[in-house]
Structure 1
Amino acid sequence: MWIENEALTGQVVTLEPLTEAHIEPLQRAVADGEGWKLWYASVPTVAAIPEYVRQAMAAAERGDIAYAVRSRASGDIVGTTRYYNVDAANRRAMIGYTWYAAAVRRSAVNTECKLLLLGQLFEQAGAIAVEFRTHFFNQASRAAIERLGAKQDGILRNHQIMADGSYRDTVVYSIIASEWPAVKNNLLSKMQP
């Protein structure tokens, strides 16, 4: 594997490789905020979590690593995030499938998750680029990606057909290796009290 499938621990969160033991805690986390009701977001329902976890575990065998996000303060699982479309030959990966319980949104959780994930990619795996994608209408996600320091590469118009039949325009962002030191400093500054 190009990216090590191991736990990543910071001050605020621990990212644990996803297992079936995370199903019930993720069901509790996703129920807090009911993110699946946002038509432009791809957040699973409580009932869909078991299959969501099993699919993520199968993808991990191919190098796409999914994590349960555990709050170090409470000990609770508060969401999930993952590497996907991992391209070892070109030293690139996407970060996404990220969602959190409402209780930890707009906290240091997402900042530290991205700091840990990007650090592993750029500093351990030697990535040359990391990509983020989101729905054009997901303004909260777009703002969060931009706060990380990612730059918009473009918009893929009519990129996907959503579950409701609407067409998704996908906004593509990236961070390249030469930008990582500044992005890292930005994230570290956001982690300061």
Structure 2
Amino acid sequence: MNWLAPVTLEGTNATLAPLSSAHVPGLASAMQDGELWKLWYTSVPAPEVLAQAVQDLLAQRDAGRVLPFAVLDAAGVPVGMTRLMNLDPVHKRLEIGGTWYARRVQRSALNTECKLMLLRHAFEQHQCIAVEFRTHRLNAASRRAIERLGAQLDGILRAHQRTADGNLRDTAVYSITAAEWPTVRTHLTWQLQRPR
């Protein structure tokens, strides 16, 4: 099965649509809510370079390196982006990353459902043995969100990468294994069913 075959994943609160240049205007509007590109520890593109960033992601998709999605809310309005990356079809591993959301949908059922759909796709369609999540060691909000999913901290990759400003980034690496997936799936499904 081709891990990079474009696929639309639909839920009640969100749809993950294959990213295209047609999503750029809506995504540019969504980025204004929270101005995530201004946070020094994120790698969210600024609005003025978003169109080029999307083109770069589409080129990476065509080269077999990533599978990017536009995140749409229940009304079909773009509210963020995410992707499957660091794909390893031999060892059946991948990373869910490059995720950002407009502030209005952060810590909402939309995010929980998106992660549930991506994890289900990885474990149930591609029989992954593990799915990783990575974030800057100092991005406390992102780390809490990953931990709420049920992912376990594997460790910190010290001086792992350079950030856009040239500083060194320590990367916190989390994962969910195939053995943990049934419990994580139950947990995320329960979270979505709880009254908010």
| TM-score exceeds 0.5 | yes
Tell me the alpha carbon deviations over residues 59-81 of structure 1, each in whole angstroms, 9 at most, x when there is no partner.
22215110000101x32100010
Q: Tell me the SS of whatever aligns to 2:124.
A: helix
Asked if the contact 2:15–2:76 (Cα under 8 Å) also holds between the matched residues in 1, the reply is no
Instruction: Find 1:64's aligned residue among 63, 66, 75.
Output: 66
Structure 2 CA distance for aligned equivalents of residues 47 and 86 of structure 1: 29
Judge conservation of contact 2:43–2:164 (CA < 8 Å) in 1.
no
Task: Name the SS for the 2:188 alignment partner.
Answer: helix
Counterpart in 1 of 2:142? Answer: 141
**CA-CA distance at 1:3 after TM superposition:** 4.9
Does structure 1 residue 152 correspond to structure 2 residue 153?
yes
Q: Which amino acid aligns with 2:3?
A: W
The 8 Å contact of residues 17 and 66 in structure 1, kept in 2 or not, is answered as yes
Q: Given the alignment of the two structures, is residue 31 of structure 1 paired with residue 32 of structure 2, yes or no?
A: yes
Q: Which residue is equivalent to 1:117?
A: 118
Q: Tell me, what secondary structure is at the counterpart of 2:154? A: strand
Letter in 1 for 2:144: A
Unmatched segments (≥5 aa) in structure 2: none
Q: Aligned residue for 1:12?
A: 13
- Looking at structure 1, the residues matched to 111 and 23 of structure 2 have their Cα atoms a distance apart, in angstroms, of 19
- When structure 1 is superposed on structure 2, of 57-66 and 132-141 the one drifting more is 57-66
Contact 1:2 1:88 in 2 (8 A): yes
In the alignment, structure 1 segments of 5+ residues that lack a partner are none
CA RMSD between the two structures? 1.0
Deviation, 1:4, is 3.7
Aligned mates of 2:3, 2:15 — CA distance in 1? 21
Normalised TM-score (structure 1): 0.96
Residue pairs, 1:1-193, within 5 angstroms: 1-61=2-62, 62-72=64-74, 74-192=75-193, 193=195
Q: Which amino acid aligns with 2:139?
A: N
